[in-house]
Structure 1
Amino acid sequence: MHSTFMGLEMGKRGMFAHQTALQTTGHNITNLNTEGYSRQRVRIGTIDPLYDPGLARVHVPGQLGQGPTTTRIERVFDVLHENQVISASDDLGYWRTRDFYVDKLEKIYNEPNDVSVRTFMDHFWNSWQDVAENPESLAARVQVVQNGKALSESINHRHAMLQEQRLLLNDDIKFTVTEINQKTEAIAKLNVQIARVQAIGDEPNDLLDKRDQMIRELAVLVPVSVDHQDADEFRVHIGGRILVQGELVNPLSAEADPNNDGLAMVRWGDINPPHNRDSYHDTYRVAGGKLGALIELRDVDVKDELRKLDAMTVHFIDLVNDVHAQGAGMNGNSGLDFFRQNNYIENATGSIDTTGDGQLDSTYLFRISGANQLKATQQVGLAGEITLSAGNGDLVTIAYNPNDTVGDIINRINYSGADVVARLDVNGNLSLKGSLSYGDNTPDFVIRHVEDSGQFLVGYAGLLNASGADGAYDYQNPNAAEEQLRVTQGVSFQTTPLQRPSAWIAVNAQIASDANNVAAAKPLAGSGEVAIGNNASALAIADLRHEKVMIDRLTSFDDFFADSVALIGAKGFEAQETHAAFSTINKNLDDIRQSISGVNINEEFADLVRFQHGFTASARFVNVVDQMLDTIINRLKV
């Protein structure tokens, strides 16, 4: 039988339920501008009725209810849409980072501008043209020296700026790794707190909001995916690998990489590493997110810009020095390089010890020039296959036949994908040069393999001693220069220069101190004397400006600068437009998320009034019951 005071209890429950609803509504309103907050809703249900059908009960019609109760306080949250937001965040982080840093790269090129490398290069060529027009003028030679210095310093400056950009990216990578680890640690701690709250049957709504916000911030840094399961099973993945599982964290680390100039290499940790840690402690290679963009920018974009600048510089130094050394200055001095030449090794034949065991094991040559003079338009009348090393470590073959001209074969070499490029030098000799290296075992500008099954590189160009594999030049032979090249018959070669030529290029000190050493003339054949007014060397150097030379491919110096600026401009446009597109996509997704989970102030005010009325009604009901009980207890006479 129900109690006489049951009405008070029922009213109290109504007051408590609506009070909880009012407090939750106030929680929503006061968190209107809290980032990552999801609005909460109180589920009000009914207490089980007084009588259970299976038990003895008094005979009254129907089941007598006992009032309301708060069944749960839930947050309004859409898991599927949240996964879409997380999935789009890494693209936004990637393109936002690229847009920021590519813009910095564009500023480094500073073109068109009066103080760009291209402008100083133009001044350098123009000054040589002035010397060619006035070969007896010392003032014109002084201008060449000054423009050479200005050009060298501008190349040095661009190298320094690119290197600074790379170091800035490296610092950002280390900072981002630290930030990722801090967020993963915070997520793991939240997992523990959430698990404890859920274990006692409560709803950790605010903690869940904090974790989801942390996940969204993490997704901008790295491309993550999540499993929305129980707290102790909540997992965060990157590229299929677990980053966080419950309270366990798989942190990333940034360690110095000796094969990448000592810059940071991002590595994985492991939640449960085996005894052999190294098998799991491998390199992070996941594309996307801010971290992926930073690694790509540092090790691809900026590194490629440095390598292209080095390639241009080393060929520029070699070409100018090759012509200048054959000329003579006003004082009769010849054999001088215009630009300083720093060699990677001191051995005159290029032999080097690469393993550090005290034994010469390789030959590092940058340029090999044949002994015979050739013409680009003449047909070779020979057939065979030239085998050269490729940039990916493989070998490429270039076939030639009797109808091919020397120019045809040179073009095939330059567009074959080999890391060896070819041209006819100022004397008409076939010149092969090493290009950029794509491996860590050898430096740039090393000729690795040259082989000819026929006679083009042998008797025709006068470069190799013999045909076939037995006569092939290979850099892993420490005596390759003496054994495979026709050194005794006039082959010339240049050992590999010191790495990063764009950092050390400078005018030769002898020329910088005395402009009379600037070679404008070629000595007269036989006598070695210099004719007054001879401008052959000056013209040859000035003509290098438009000549198709070897800078990764067959192109001129002017084309190189035009292509470089166009490429970096295209990258900048792509990054800017794609960043804008993903920003719009991300904003639209966030707007949808806010429409689902965000606080609507009008709706909350309506709920505030509704729950207030409910509380007032419950309180009024208690007052009525109180009056009834007062009548029963105090006013009825027995």
Structure 2
Amino acid sequence: MGISRILDISKRSLLTYQNALDVTAHNIANASNPDYSRQRVILSATTPENNAGFYWGSGVTLSSINRMTNDLIVRQLDSYTSKLSYSDKQAELLGQIEQVFSEPSDQGLSALINQFFNSWQSLSVNPSSIPLRNDVLNSAKSLSLKIQDINSNLDLIKSSISSEFRDKVNQINSLLQDIKNLNIQISSVTNSGQSPNDLLDQRDKSINELSKLVDINVIYNNNNSAMISIGGILAVDSNFTVTFDTSLQNGKLNLITTDGKSPIITNGELSALADLYNKNIAGYQNDIDTIANQIVSSVNSLHSTAYSIENPPQTGINFFDGYIDGKLEINPNILSDVRKIAVSSDGTSGNGDIAKTISELADKKLIDGFTLSEKFSTLVNKIGSDKQTMDNLSTSNKLVLDQLQNQKDSVSGVSVDEEMTNVLKFQRAYDASAKLIKIADDLFQTLLDMV
């Protein structure tokens, strides 16, 4: 019986250390995989046997393969991933918006507003001058084109945001389905008493990808299944997934479920896109609309009281037709005949009083205690401030995220040097077990030779 025990112990030891080498090789193979968590074998003595009044050791077994991870750090990583994704996406798009306004610049809106009113000042000196009247018209055209260009580019960015939003929603639905499938597999393996380490890594990766898109809340049940909520709505577990869709109603871009529920999202790329569309750009365009409408009403209220240089002089003429669909529309009659530009207060050709009064609009506090140029400068400064805020927030979030990643790597990362040490240790134990089998075989042979 003693020799057979040696064989049993040696055989069990060979299998154990072979499995330990397999795990170590798996670690080394995934040393450069950022989504892999190091696995550690736990060796323990097998249950001893009671024989002849003694408890005899029966060898070694691989009792478990532990996944080296810190759940708290992983959840913090997901949280700051959402925050960083939000600030990065906002900073990226705000940079594009800054380029739309091209300020400060000779061709920026602020400069064109000043050129427009300066042209009226020049015309007031020589009201009958056709070239100066053409200057007024051309400066008005340049101003109109610039406002139209700003609105068109902002609408283009909004269209791009809307399209990207839909793509992100599709990604969310795909990730939720992946997580559900992994939940099912993980629960099955867990219920069988095994450790689904690689499946857990895959699910953590999917959850982290999801956290880049939206802020999430994750809870694990007894079967190791992840239950994830998005904006207060349970989105996935082992049994079902919610399907999300895009809503664009009343000019607002939102995330909704197929049954009409609206999760409240505050971080992640999706929230950044929605906030830019619904708040930032809407606010910027509202300020542009306010400036343009004020130009129309202020200039028309004066221009309509003045007289043209036609024969006979005409009055009651609006310089602008209005501000329509983001475009400053100039009176088509003035476009075809600059003599209809009205600047005389009494109908005489040499009078330019109204032109002078229009030029003085540039210095009047027409909007919320600001001049037109000051109001626009405030808008440009706000865009720059919003961009700087997001840049600073990204820097701060990136710093925290890097620190958390370093902490995760210290726990879950693979050290090739450490694993090679384990290879040598397990290899020697394997070699020793093989020698025990050889010794047991020699003992058997000795006994046989004695028969």
Under a length normalisation based on structure 1, what TM-score does the superposition of the two structures give?
0.68
- How far residue 264 of structure 1 moved from its aligned partner, in angstroms, is 4.4
Mapping of residues 486-497 of structure 1, within 5 Å:
none
Paired residue type of 2:52: V
Aligned to 1:545: 362
Paired residue type of 1:35: P
Aligned to 1:590: 405
Query: 1:192 aligned to 169, 184, 194, which one?
Result: 184
**Does residue 153 of structure 1 match 2:145?**
yes
Aligned to 2:78: 86
Aligned to 1:305: 284
**Does residue 518 of structure 1 match 2:341?**
yes
Query: 1:114 aligned to 65, 86, 106, which one?
Result: 106
Aligned to 1:16: 15
Paired residue type of 2:352: N
Unaligned runs of 5+ in 1: 52-56, 270-276, 343-497, 524-529
| Larger RCO (CA under 8 A, 6+ residues apart) | 2
Matches of 2:134 and 2:211 in 1, distance apart? 59
Aligned to 2:430: 615
Aligned residues of 1:188 and 1:249 also touching (Cα < 8 A): yes
* Secondary structure at 1:341 match in 2: strand
**Does residue 314 of structure 1 match 2:293?**
yes
Aligned to 1:29: 28
Matches of 1:80 and 1:171 in 2, distance apart? 35
* Secondary structure at 1:545 match in 2: helix
Residues 153 and 173 of structure 1, relative CA distance in 2, 3 Å threshold: same
Matches of 2:342 and 2:98 in 1, distance apart? 37
**Does residue 248 of structure 1 match 2:240?**
yes
Matches of 2:116 and 2:57 in 1, distance apart? 98
- How far residue 241 of structure 1 moved from its aligned partner, in angstroms, is 2.4
Aligned to 1:570: 385
Paired residue type of 2:22: Q
Aligned residues of 1:231 and 1:246 also touching (Cα < 8 A): no
- How far residue 3 of structure 1 moved from its aligned partner, in angstroms, is 5.4
Summarize deviations over 1:553-612 as a string: whole Å, max 9, x none: 221111112111111111111111111111111111011101101111111111111111
**Does residue 268 of structure 1 match 2:83?**
no
Mapping of residues 212-227 of structure 1, within 5 Å:
212-227=204-219
Matches of 2:273 and 2:398 in 1, distance apart? 19
Matches of 2:71 and 2:6 in 1, distance apart? 42
- How far residue 70 of structure 1 moved from its aligned partner, in angstroms, is 1.3
Matches of 1:589 and 1:70 in 2, distance apart? 32
Aligned residues of 2:246 and 2:255 also touching (Cα < 8 A): yes
Matches of 1:631 and 1:149 in 2, distance apart? 111
- How far residue 228 of structure 1 moved from its aligned partner, in angstroms, is 2.6
- How far residue 341 of structure 1 moved from its aligned partner, in angstroms, is 2.8
Paired residue type of 2:256: R
Residues 195 and 86 of structure 1, relative CA distance in 2, 3 Å threshold: same
Matches of 1:233 and 1:196 in 2, distance apart? 10
- How far residue 233 of structure 1 moved from its aligned partner, in angstroms, is 4.6
* Secondary structure at 1:265 match in 2: strand
Aligned to 2:445: 630
Matches of 2:224 and 2:109 in 1, distance apart? 59
Aligned residues of 2:47 and 2:57 also touching (Cα < 8 A): yes
* Secondary structure at 1:253 match in 2: strand
Paired residue type of 1:316: I
Aligned to 1:506: 329
Matches of 1:230 and 1:116 in 2, distance apart? 62
Matches of 1:107 and 1:290 in 2, distance apart? 21
Aligned residues of 1:86 and 1:225 also touching (Cα < 8 A): no
Paired residue type of 2:174: Q
Aligned residues of 1:192 and 1:232 also touching (Cα < 8 A): no
Mapping of residues 233-632 of structure 1, within 5 Å:
233-257=225-249, 259-260=250-251, 264-269=253-258, 281-331=260-310, 332-341=313-322, 500=325, 503-523=326-346, 530-550=347-367, 553-632=368-447
Paired residue type of 1:162: L
Matches of 2:161 and 2:232 in 1, distance apart? 26
- How far residue 229 of structure 1 moved from its aligned partner, in angstroms, is 2.7
Structure with more of its chain in helix, by fraction: 2
Measured on the aligned residues, the alpha-carbon RMSD in Å equals: 1.5
* Secondary structure at 1:242 match in 2: strand
* Secondary structure at 1:33 match in 2: coil
Matches of 2:119 and 2:209 in 1, distance apart? 56
Under a length normalisation based on structure 2, what TM-score does the superposition of the two structures give?
0.96
Q: How much identity, in percent, do the aligned residues show?
A: 26
Matches of 1:16 and 1:317 in 2, distance apart? 87
Matches of 1:213 and 1:201 in 2, distance apart? 23
- More displaced stretch, 168-177 vs 144-153: 168-177
Matches of 1:284 and 1:210 in 2, distance apart? 26
Summarize deviations over 1:209-257 as a string: whole Å, max 9, x none: 0001111111121111211333475211223321112231122211342
